[in-house]
Structure 1
Amino acid sequence: MKYMLLIYLEEKTLSETEREACYKESTQLAHDLKSNGRYLSANPLHPISMATSVRVRDGKRLVTDGPFAETREQLGGYFLVDAKDLDEAIAIAERIPMARKGTVEVRPVIEMPGLPTE
């Protein structure tokens, strides 16, 4: 089953040096997961200052700068993995470096038939 591991943290938590170390450790984790057939995708996100939110209400588009919700922690990146069950997905989530400073939300992915594949 596919699981989306959503990484939340306060953007100002890491210095640039800490961020680079996190990227390096995350890259190694991605390679480890790939060697076990569990890796599907992973990427950090640009800061929330670059986010745009889109809503459609009564047929009209509303575009606003910034993230969907203002919270203490922001969505900072993700891993998409193929895990045998929730326990394995949680075990992978705890290996993500930002789990030590922020929160990793583990959510199963609904696989919809008919979507394009690679």
Structure 2
Amino acid sequence: MRYMMLIHHDDAKMEGADQKALWADWAAFNEALAKADGASPGERLEPAPEGTVVRSSDVLDGPYADTKEQFAGYFFVEATDLEEAVAWAKRCPASRFGAIEIRPVHVPKGDWK
């Protein structure tokens, strides 16, 4: 099953980390993802204040949620079950600074033509 891993972290905690060691951890993690069958490195997002929220009635600057932990990035893994997906999430360097939300990717059934 394919899972999307949504990274939520506190930007202030990330800034306080040893950046050289952190990026070495990310490089190793991304290398492991690249070698894994069906996994794909995702993307890191700019900090939440750089974002924009659009609804049909208005447009707002800044983050959607008023919390310390913001949506910061994502990646995908192919895992046999949730337990394996959890193991990938725990390996992610961002898990030390926030949370990794695991979501199964929906596969539509039937004819969509």
- Which ranges in structure 1 are unaligned for 5 or more consecutive residues? none
Q: Aligned partners of 1:36, 1:84: CA distance in 2, in Å? A: 12
Other-structure match for 2:44: 44
SS of residue in 1 equivalent to 2:106: coil
Other-structure match for 1:54: 54
Q: 1:71 Cα shift?
A: 1.2
* RMSD between aligned residues: 2.1
Contact in 2 for aligned 1:55/1:62 (Cα 8 Å): yes
Other-structure match for 1:63: 59
Q: Structure 2 length as normaliser, TM-score? A: 0.83
- Which ranges in structure 2 are unaligned for 5 or more consecutive residues? none
Q: Structure 1 length as normaliser, TM-score? A: 0.80
- What is the percent sequence identity of the aligned residues? 35
Q: Aligned partners of 1:24, 1:43: CA distance in 2, in Å? A: 16
Map 1:1-118 to 2 at 5 A: 1-15=1-15, 18-56=18-56, 61-112=57-108
Contact in 2 for aligned 1:41/1:80 (Cα 8 Å): yes
Summarize the Cα distance change of 1:38–1:26 in structure 2 as closer, same or farther, 3 Å threshold.
Answer: farther
